[in-house]
Amino acid sequence: MVRHGQRVFAEIVEQYLRLVTFADDDYAERIQLPQYRSAKVVIDAEHAFGRPRFAHGGAKLEDVIDLLQAGEPLETVAAEFGLSQAEVEDALRVATRAAA
């Protein structure tokens, strides 16, 4: 229970906590972003200055999106960063979805 009698949905909280990797000092060390379906995009203060990056290969998300927005073909961008086309498509989907 929290203030005003609202309940925390344990299953939802647990699901999100599985995306957090904790360091030996029990502080969050790495967070996997949940909005991606096939790409594993993480935030880690020790890499890329804490900017979102692909866990596979380590490419910064913004670099991938910048190339796509510059007009580079999806296949070229995927090859450039060592990613699958599905990972790049997933990143593009999240970057271009309408704000809620």
Q: How does pLDDT run along the chain (100 residues), one tens digit per residue?
A: 456 666 667 777 777 778 888 888 988 888 999 999 999 999 998 887 889 999 988 999 999 999 999 999 999 999 999 999 999 999 999 988 855 5
DSSP string for residues in the chain: --GGG----HHHHHHHHTTEEE-TTSSEEEEE-TT-SSS-EEEETTSGGG--EETTT--BHHHHHHHHHTT--HHHHHHHHT--HHHHHHHHHHHHSPP-
Chain-centre distance of CA 51, in angstroms?
9
Angle between the N-to-C axes of helices 74-81 and 61-69, in degrees from 0 to 180, rounded to the nearest 10: 150
Domain chopping of the chain, boundaries: 3-96
Distance CA 93, CA 46 (A): 26
Beta bridge partners of 60: 53
